[in-house]
Homo-oligomer: A and B are copies of this chain.
Amino acid sequence: MTSTGTRTPLTRDRIIDAAVALADELGVEEVSMRKLGAELGVEAMSLYNHVENKDGIFDGMIDHVFESIPLPAAESDWRATVRATALIALDRFISHPWVVNLLMQRGNYGQSSLRFMDRTLGLLRSAGFSDEDTHHAWQMLASHTMGYAFQQVSGGYDDKEWDNVVPSQAELAEFFPHVAALAPYLAECEAGAEFAFGLDIIISGLQARLDAVTPGGSQPLGL
């Protein structure tokens, strides 16, 4: 009724949007050419008129997520901007859990991710980091953000499988006492605060590095 009557023309953007919606709802493994076509009221083969192949759709989905991350302001206080940007990026990666997966097998060198990287590198350089340290800082911030998103997204404590490894709570305490002792912290999933803990350590460490090279810079933040 809704979309079959009218004839909204098929475009690359409509395909990407439908793929994102499908992946958000059912998981990326449910995104197939046939299902995506059905979702758009069209045969699977029609998609190939607007998209090179399935990998092209995946690339578009990645770009879609990076476009939703505001670019870091150019000449701002690098610490506050990097902190805020990383928090938003983490939020986007977690609310589209499939993007980390796609990034790994597709790489992150699309238009939008390149632009995001470029602006962030520019901010770090304008803050006074050497080219080499800028690269190191980027790598570190990216590792921490992607790695944390990775952990939040991966596995997901599927109870069935978990019981397979550790049949009982008593057995967990016997063989993995430290894991058992920290279980409350491991289960507690307040992603933002936990992520920020590490992020602040990294930012402070990078600031210290900056101060060591260019003395007379801003004071270290009292974290």
Interface residues of A in 145-200 (CB under 8 A from B): 145-148, 150-151, 153-158, 161-162, 165-166, 175-179, 181-182, 185-186, 194, 197-198
Residues of B within 8 A of A118 (CB): 175-179
Residues of B within 8 A of A34 (CB): none
Q: Say how far A122's CB is from chain B's closest CB, in angstroms.
A: 4
Residues of B within 8 A of A142 (CB): 147, 151
Residues of B within 8 A of A181 (CB): 121, 125, 131
Residues of B within 8 A of A25 (CB): none
Interface residue A51 (Cβ < 8 Å from any Cβ of B): no
Decide yes or no: A148 and B139 within 8 Å by CB, A109-B165, A122-B178, A181-B131 being known contacts.
Answer: yes
Which chain B residue has the least Cβ–Cβ distance from A197? Answer: B136
Interface 1/0 per residue, A134-148 and B, CB below 8 Å: 111001101111111
Interface 1/0 per residue, A78-108 and B, CB below 8 Å: 0000000000000000000000110111111
Contact A153 B104 (CB under 8 A): yes
Which chain B residue has the least Cβ–Cβ distance from A156? Answer: B107
Which chain B residue has the least Cβ–Cβ distance from A172? Answer: B114
Residues of B within 8 A of A186 (CB): 135
Contact B132 A185 (CB under 8 A): yes
**Residue A148 contacts which of B108, B147, B175 (CB distance < 8 angstroms)?**
B147
Contact A147 B143 (CB under 8 A): yes
Contact A176 B115 (CB under 8 A): yes
Most buried by B among A101, A117, A147: A147
Contact B139 A146 (CB under 8 A): no
**In the complex, A103→B107 CA distance in Å?**
17
A interface residues (Cβ-Cβ under 8 A, vs B): 100-101, 103-111, 114-115, 117-119, 121-122, 125, 131-132, 134-136, 139-140, 142-148, 150-151, 153-158, 161-162, 165-166, 175-179, 181-182, 185-186, 194, 197-198, 201-202, 204-206, 209
Q: A107-B161, A136-B197, A136-B198 are in contact. List 15 more A-B contacts (CB 8 A).
A: A104-B150, A104-B153, A107-B155, A115-B176, A118-B177, A131-B185, A139-B194, A140-B197, A143-B143, A143-B151, A144-B144, A145-B147, A146-B150, A147-B147, A198-B202
